[in-house]
């Protein structure tokens, strides 16, 4: 199996059909590559496939399979899902965190304006977008920023950035011992030893965040009564009511889930979207015209505007179709024997849904490899055809947050700056390797402030 795996599996599906099985070492693997196969499985066997494979990363980096993304389906998972829905991703909570998203968008714009206020300037976007999404999530989680000029020299911020890099690297890498058990006995490649070392450091860091919140002066908190509670604040409140269940480990696992699911996914999607727009300037012009008409030039686009920016949403949907952050949905595992499209599937089979192949299937999409946002103008139901956030019980609960972050950032970048490619060549759209699929070459572009938006930018 050569990288990228989603392309290798798509080639196999062209030869063997949209449903087939492979053997990854000791693990049988079911691969689905069509909307009808996905619908058949998740409409009839969602509960059977609601478990997750027990990989070493889940054991060592996710508190022994107790986080939302790794724990087996059951009462604990249902409780974690309920907490995440009510305390993190509910409409009320997302609205309460609006100020954080607005401030981080302004910070991103200020950084770009500083570099380009005298005319067209070359900018590197990958690091800026990554810092933008990490700061949003960490401020929601802990109330603190870890990226940007004001924290550049902070020892805590430097430590966090190094830990995140190592965690993402180990989470995205396959451990051969997960598929060939005897390799795990000898810790082939010292993967588990590295996981244990990094987990110890990350655990100490996260415990520090919790202790800091726990030890804050209560009187000071009361004086800031209007301040939005962070995720840690909310979970410490739950801990007061049930200290045995809502242990520090459960809180730390929830923080890790937020970091893993809510950071790279958003920044990578924005980077792919900007790359596509640079390669399709007419689409960029159309999106800008929509924003100018609905928002105007005397203020920044804001979240209440997003529901009116239908073409911008079409661009985001088309980006997620062509370049889903998770081209292979997070693996599932069957808890019982089942039948899918007439095929018998044994208990303990790992499930891979190839969203990338479904999103580019010519039987499903007209001209599937072209960037054409207009295809979504009909407003038809895309269930089982467009699945960037997964499907079923174990789908990503943070889809609403991701859409707000991506849409708000894209609207601001399009509204405030003129964007062009570096040179005449198209932006390279080849994929790299990682937990989420990044561009193989980080996006660099040339931008300058739009004349009509300079006064708004100066006010920032």
Note the pTM of the prediction, 2 decimals: 0.94
**Residue, of 173 and 6, whose pLDDT is higher:** 6
Task: Tell whether the model's pLDDT for residue 406 goes beyond 90.
Answer: yes
Task: Check residue 391 and give its pLDDT.
Answer: 92
> How many beta carbons lie within 10 A of that of residue 78, not counting itself?
12
With beta carbons less than 8 A apart as the criterion, state whether 331 and 50 touch.
no
| Range 139-145 average pLDDT | 91
For residue range 151-208, list pLDDT tens digits in order. Answer: 766 788 778 878 888 887 777 667 889 999 899 889 888 999 999 999 999 999 999 9
Q: What is the mean pLDDT of the chain?
A: 92
| Range 298-311 average pLDDT | 97
Query: Of all helices (H) and strands (E), which one includes residue 418?
Result: strand 417-420
Q: How far is CA 97 from CA 122, 258, 303, 404, in A?
A: 32, 14, 12, 11
pLDDT > 90: what percent of the chain?
A: 77
With beta carbons less than 8 A apart as the criterion, state whether 371 and 279 touch.
yes
Task: Tell whether the model's pLDDT for residue 226 goes beyond 60.
Answer: no
Task: Tell whether the model's pLDDT for residue 222 goes beyond 80.
Answer: no
For residue range 426-458, list pLDDT tens digits in order. Answer: 999 999 877 678 899 999 999 999 999 999 999
Task: Check residue 218 and give its pLDDT.
Answer: 57
Lowest mean pLDDT among 2-6, 385-389, 448-452: 2-6
Task: Check residue 202 and give its pLDDT.
Answer: 94
Q: How far is CA 187 from CA 40, 99, 181, 193, 268, in A?
A: 39, 46, 10, 7, 32
Task: Check residue 225 and give its pLDDT.
Answer: 54
Burial class from Cβ neighbours inside 10 Å (0-12, 13-18, 19+) for residue 168 reads middle
**Residue, of 247 and 163, whose pLDDT is higher:** 247
Task: Check residue 173 and give its pLDDT.
Answer: 61
Please give the residue range of the domain that contains residue 242. 5-459
Which CATH number goes with the domain that contains 113? 1.10.630.10
With beta carbons less than 8 A apart as the criterion, state whether 360 and 366 touch.
no
pLDDT > 70: what percent of the chain?
A: 97
The DSSP bridge partners found for residue 30 are 21, 351
SS3 content of the chain, % helix, strand, coil (to 5): 55, 10, 35
| Range 27-53 average pLDDT | 96
Task: Count up the domains in the chain and report the number.
Answer: 1
Task: Check residue 147 and give its pLDDT.
Answer: 82
Task: Tell whether the model's pLDDT for residue 80 goes beyond 70.
Answer: yes
| Range 257-282 average pLDDT | 92
Task: Tell whether the model's pLDDT for residue 32 goes beyond 70.
Answer: yes
């Amino acid at each position: 199996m050569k990288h990228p795996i989603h392309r290798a599996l798509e080639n196999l599906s062209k030869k063997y059909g949209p449903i087939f099985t492979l053997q990854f070492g000791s693990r049988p693997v079911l691969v689905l590559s069509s909307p009808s196969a996905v619908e058949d499985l998740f409409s009839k066997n969602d509960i059977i496939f609601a478990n997750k494979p027990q990989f070493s990363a889940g054991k060592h980096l996710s508190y022994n399979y107790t986080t939302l993304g790794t724990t087996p389906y059951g009462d604990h998972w249902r409780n974690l899902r309920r907490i995440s829905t009510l305390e993190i991703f509910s409409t009320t909570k997302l609205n309460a965190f609006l100020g954080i998203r607005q401030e981080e968008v302004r910070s991103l714009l200020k950084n770009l304006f500083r570099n380009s206020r005298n005319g067209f300037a070359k900018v590197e976007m990958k690091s800026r977008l990554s810092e933008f999404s990490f700061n949003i999530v960490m401020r929601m989680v802990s109330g603190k920023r870890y990226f940007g000029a004001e924290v550049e020299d902070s020892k805590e911020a430097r430590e966090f950035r190094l830990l995140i890099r190592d965690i993402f690297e180990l989470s995205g890498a396959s451990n051969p011992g997960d598929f060939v058990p005897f390799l795990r006995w000898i810790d082939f490649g010292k993967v588990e030893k590295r996981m244990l070392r990094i987990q110890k450091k990350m655990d100490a860091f996260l415990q520090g965040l919790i202790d800091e919140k726990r030890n804050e002066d209560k009187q000071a908190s009361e004086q800031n009564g209007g301040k939005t509670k962070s995720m840690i604040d909310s979970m410490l409140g739950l801990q007061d009511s049930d200290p045995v269940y809502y242990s520090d480990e459960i809180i730390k696992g929830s923080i890790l889930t937020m970091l893993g699911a809510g950071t790279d996914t958003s920044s990578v999607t924005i980077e792919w979207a900007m790359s596509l727009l640079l390669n399709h300037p007419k689409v960029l012009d159309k999106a800008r015209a929509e924003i100018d008409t609905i928002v105007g030039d005397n203020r920044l686009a804001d979240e209440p505007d997003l529901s009116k920016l239908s073409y911008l949403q079409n661009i985001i949907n088309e980006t997620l179709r062509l370049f889903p952050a998770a081209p292979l949905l997070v693996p599932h595992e069957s808890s019982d024997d089942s039948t899918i499209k007439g095929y018998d599937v044994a208990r303990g089979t790992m499930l891979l849904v190839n969203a990338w192949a479904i999103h580019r299937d010519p039987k499903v999409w007209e001209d599937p490899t072209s960037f054409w946002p207009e295809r979504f103008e009909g407003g038809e139901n895309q269930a089982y055809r467009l699945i960037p956030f997964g499907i079923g019980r174990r789908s990503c609960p943070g889809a609403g947050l991701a859409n707000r972050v991506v849409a708000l950032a894209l609207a601001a970048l399009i509204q405030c700056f003129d964007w062009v490619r570096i040179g005449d060549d198209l932006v390279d759209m080849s994929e790299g390797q990682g937990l989420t699929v990044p561009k193989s070459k980080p996006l660099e572009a040339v931008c300058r402030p739009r004349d009509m938006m300079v006064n708004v930018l100066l006010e920032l």
